[in-house]
Amino acid sequence: MFLKSIELRGFKSFADKIELTFDKGVTAIVGPNGSGKSNVIDAVMWVLGEQSIKNLRGNKMEDVIFAGTQYRKSLGMAEVSLILDNADKKLPLEYSDIKITRKVYRSGESDYYINNTKCRLKEIQELLMDTGLGKAGYSIIGQGKIDAILSGKPEDRRSVLEEAAGIVKFKLRKEEGEKKLQTTEQNLIRIQDILNTYEERLNPLKIESEKAKKFIHLSEMLNSKDINIILYSIDNIEKQIQKCKSTINILENEKEKLLEQKNNYASKLNNYNDDLYKLEKKIEVLKQSYYDNKSNYEKTISEIEFLKDKVKYTLENINKYNKLIKEQNDKIIKLKRIKLDEENKVKEIIDLNLKTKEYINFYEDKFNNINLNIENEENSLKYLKEDQIEFLSNVSDVKNKINIIENEIESLKCKREETSNYVKDSSEFLKLKLNEKENAKTQIDSLLKHIEQYEIIINKNENKILNIKNKIKENDVKLKNENYFLNKLETNKGILLNLEKHYEGYSKTSKKLVEHLNNNKIPNFIGKCFLLGESINVNKDLEIAIEIALGGSISNIITLNDNIAKRLIEYLKLNKLGRTTFLPLNIIKGKKINIPKYLKSTQGFIGLASELIQYDDNIKNAIEYVLGRTIIVDNIDNALEIAKKINYNYKIVTLSGEIVNAGGALTGGSLSKKNFNIIGRKRKIKDIDESIYKTKESINKISHNNNFLNNNIDILEKENINNKNQMQIKSIQMAKFENKINLLKEEVEKLNKSIYISNNEIKLIEYKLLNSNTELKEKQELLSNVHNCQYKNIDKINHIEKNLIVKRKDLEDIRKKLTDFKIKKAEIKESNLNKRKRIEQLNLEIEELSKNIVYLNEDLKKLYDNKESIQEKIECNEVNKEKISHDLKELEQYIEKCNVRKIELNSIIGTIKSKLEDINNVLQKKDKELHKYDIVLTKYNSEVKSLFLKLKEDIGINYEESLKYKENIENIEKYKKQANYLKNEIKSLGIVNVGAVEEYRELKEKFMFMNSQKQDLVRAKEELEKVILEMTKKMKNIFNNNFNKLKLLFNETFKELFNGGSADLILCGEDELKSKIEINAQPPGKKLQNINLMSGGEKGLAAIALLFAILKMKPTPFCMLDEIEASLDDINVSRYASFLRKFSSKIQFIVITHRKGTMEVSDNIYGVTMEEKGISKVVSINLS
Residue 36 annotated as binding site:
yes
Q: What is the pLDDT of residue 81?
A: 93
The per-residue pLDDT for range 535-577, each reduced to its tens digit, is 888 888 888 899 888 888 888 999 988 888 888 898 888 888 8
Q: Which CATH class is domain 511-671?
A: alpha beta
Q: pLDDT by residue (tens digit) across 841-900?
A: 777 877 777 777 777 777 777 777 777 777 777 778 777 777 777 777 777 777 777 777
Q: What is the pLDDT of residues 256-276, one digit of tens each?
A: 887 887 788 788 778 878 887
- Cα 993 from chain centroid (whole Å): 46
**Considering only CA atoms, which of 559, 565, 553, 637 is closest in space to residue 602?**
637
Query: What are the start-end ranges of the H helices in 1075-1120?
Result: 1096-1113
H helix or E strand, kind and range, residue 95: none
Residues paired with 408 in a beta bridge? none
CA distance 853 to 847: 10
Instruction: Please give the Cα distance from 393 to 316 (Å, whole number).
Output: 107
Which string of DSSP letters, residue by residue, matches 687-702? HHHHHHHHHHHHHHHH
- In order of 89, 167, 578, the CA distances from 160 in angstroms are 24, 11, 77
Domain boundaries, the chain: 1-139+1116-1149+1166-1184, 511-671
Q: Would you place residue 177 in the very low, low, confident or very high pLDDT band (cuts 50, 70, 90)? A: confident
Over pLDDT 90: what percentage of the chain? 4
Euclidean distance between CA atoms 437 and 430, whole angstroms: 11
> Considering the chain, what is the average pLDDT of its residues?
80
The answer to whether the beta carbons of residues 659 and 673 sit under 8 Å apart is: no
Nearest to 424 by CA among 744, 763, 758, 747: 758
What is residue 1122's three-state secondary structure? strand
Please give the pLDDT value at position 1101: 80
Tell me the pairing of strands 97-105 and 651-654: unpaired
Q: Is 590 annotated as a binding residue?
A: no
Q: What is the pLDDT of residue 224?
A: 80
Is 223 annotated in some ligand binding site? no
Mean pLDDT of 412-417: 76
Q: Does domain 1-139+1116-1149+1166-1184 have CATH number 3.40.50.2300?
A: no
- pLDDT exceeding 70 applies to what percent of the chain? 94
Model confidence at 230: pLDDT above 60: yes
| 33 marked as part of a ligand binding site | yes
Tell whether the model's pLDDT for residue 1155 goes beyond 70: yes
pLDDT in tens, 505-545: 788 888 888 888 888 888 777 778 888 888 888 888 888 89
Q: Is 32 annotated as a binding residue?
A: yes
Question: 173-180 contacts: CB < 8 A, separation 24 or more?
Answer: 173/1031, 174/1028, 174/1031, 174/1032, 174/1035, 177/1024, 177/1027, 177/1028, 177/1031, 178/1028, 180/1024
Amino acid at 553: S
Residue 949 and residue 662 in contact, taking contact as beta carbons nearer than 8 Å:
yes
Does the pLDDT at position 940 exceed 70?
yes
The whole-number pLDDT of residue 672 equals: 56
Give the pLDDT of residue 674: 43
**Residue 155 to residues 7, 173, 174, 855: CA-CA distances in angstroms?**
33, 19, 18, 153
Residue 676: per-residue pLDDT: 44
- Rounded-to-integer distance, Cα 469 and Cα 876, Å: 133
552 is an annotated ligand-binding site residue: no
Closest CA to 867 of 320, 322, 324, 308: 308
What is the rounded average pLDDT of the residues 958-984?
78
DSSP letter for each residue of 562-610:
HHHHHHHHHHHHHHT-----EEETTT----PPPPPHHHHTSTTEEEEGG
Provide the pLDDT for residue 1091.
Answer: 65
Q: What angle do CA 1056, 1057, 1058 make, to 5 degrees?
A: 95
Question: For the segment 891-921, what is each residue's pLDDT rounded down to a tens digit?
Answer: 777 777 777 777 777 778 778 878 778 888 8
What count of Cα atoms within 13 Å lies in the side-chain half-sphere of residue 397? 8
Provide CB contacts within 8 A for 1153, sequence distance 6+: 28, 29, 30, 1123, 1125, 1159
E strands within 482-573? 529-531, 557-559
Please say if the pLDDT value at position 115 is more than 70.
yes
| 37 is known to lie in a ligand binding site | yes
Q: What pLDDT, on the 0 to 100 scale, is given for residue 144?
A: 60
How far apart are the C-alpha atoms of 477 and 479, rounded to whole Å? 5
Q: What is the Cα–Cα distance from 1168 to 1178, expressed in whole angstroms?
A: 5
Flag the least confident range among 220-229, 470-479, 567-576. Answer: 220-229
Tell me, what's the pLDDT at 751?
65
User: Which tens digits make up the pLDDT trace of 736-790?
Assistant: 777 777 776 677 666 666 767 777 777 777 777 777 777 777 777 777 777 777 7
Whether residue 1089 is predicted with pLDDT greater than 70 in this model: the reply is: no
Q: Tell me what pLDDT residue 24 has.
A: 86
pLDDT of residue 675: 42
824 compared with 581, residue with greater pLDDT? 581
C-beta of residue 191 within 8 angstroms of C-beta of residue 1007: no
